[in-house]
A and B are shown apart, each in its own frame.
Chain A
Amino acid sequence: DVKVTQSSRYLVKRTGEKVFLECVQDMDHENMFWYRQDPGLGLRLIYFSYDVKMKEKGDIPEGYSVSREKKERFSLILESASTNQTSMYLCASTSGQGKMSNQPQHFGDGTRLSIL
């Protein structure tokens, strides 16, 4: 089975801190994704990556950046955390050929991030 591991289940940080959320997958997937999930809004895509060192903005990239130095690891960075970034963050991966991929995504268990 595919395993997508997010480094923390719960995280509490302060306004203005730089926050790193880590995600690792063990199936050599090319594509990786970061979403945030908020009540009434469903899942919204922040950033995604089709290959090492490649990244593309999703629907809500403002206030975030990402890093993909190795194929198995995709990091989400909150440059200067704000209270409106309190949310559940979900990482996902999938096999396939970049924008031609039509494969299901495999999700981690999520990180519930609180910004105080």
Chain B
Amino acid sequence: GDSVTQMEGPVTLSEEAFLTINCTYTATGYPSLFWYVQYPGEGLQLLLKATKADDKGSNKGFEATYRKETTSFHLEKGSVQVSDSAVYFCARGSQGNLIFGKGTKLSVKP
């Protein structure tokens, strides 16, 4: 069935470091792709999305590009801040539902 695989954490970075969180998805159909963020004690918030190949989603300095040829949707940020510390989930659309990766915990140290 459909699935999403993202890099396991935790990931610990210093402030202003470059961030990449890898995500790959199964290639069934032409799904929309999403990144969600979960701050401590809260639910998931949509961070960005892309609906077709070569689309780039962006928000709050984060970016991800829908790569059909590599079935990937890697999350990147050029300079992370302490406030970016959270758990990040990659997800793909699947018949009206979402399939989530297991999440990657990011900790940013000052």
**Interface positions of A (Cβ within 8 A of B):** 4, 31, 33, 40-43, 45, 48, 50, 58, 90, 92, 96-110
Q: Which residues of B contact A107 (CB under 8 A)?
A: 36, 43-45
Q: How far is the CA of A102 from the CA of B29 in the complex (A)?
A: 12
* Segment at the A interface, from B11-19, B74-82, B88-96: B88-96
Knowing A102-B32, A106-B46, A110-B42, the reply to whether A42 touches B96 (Cβ < 8 A) is: no
Knowing A41-B102, A43-B89, A104-B49, the reply to whether A99 touches B43 (Cβ < 8 A) is: no
Asked if B96 contacts A96 (CB within 8 A), the reply is yes
Asked if A102 contacts B97 (CB within 8 A), the reply is no
Shortest CB distance B25–A (Å):
14
Q: How many inter-chain contacts with C-beta < 8 Å in the A-B complex?
A: 53
Most B-side CB within 10 Å, residue of A33, A43, A102: A102
Q: Which residues of A contact B93 (CB under 8 A)?
A: 101-102
Shortest CB distance B47–A (Å):
10
The contact of A42 among B42, B45, B51, B100, by CB within 8 Å, is: B100
Shortest CB distance A1–B (Å):
11
User: 10 A-B Cβ contacts within 8 A?
Assistant: A42-B89, A42-B101, A43-B44, A50-B96, A90-B44, A97-B96, A99-B96, A101-B96, A102-B32, A105-B46
The contact of A43 among B45, B51, B96, B100, by CB within 8 Å, is: B100
Residue of B nearest to A44 (CB): B100
Residue of B nearest to A100 (CB): B96
Q: How far is the CA of A109 from the CA of B44 in the complex (A)?
A: 7
Q: Which residues of A contact B96 (CB under 8 A)?
A: 31, 48, 50, 96-102
Q: Which residues of A contact B32 (CB under 8 A)?
A: 102-104
Q: Which residues of B contact A102 (CB under 8 A)?
A: 31-32, 51, 93, 96
Asked if A42 contacts B34 (CB within 8 A), the reply is no
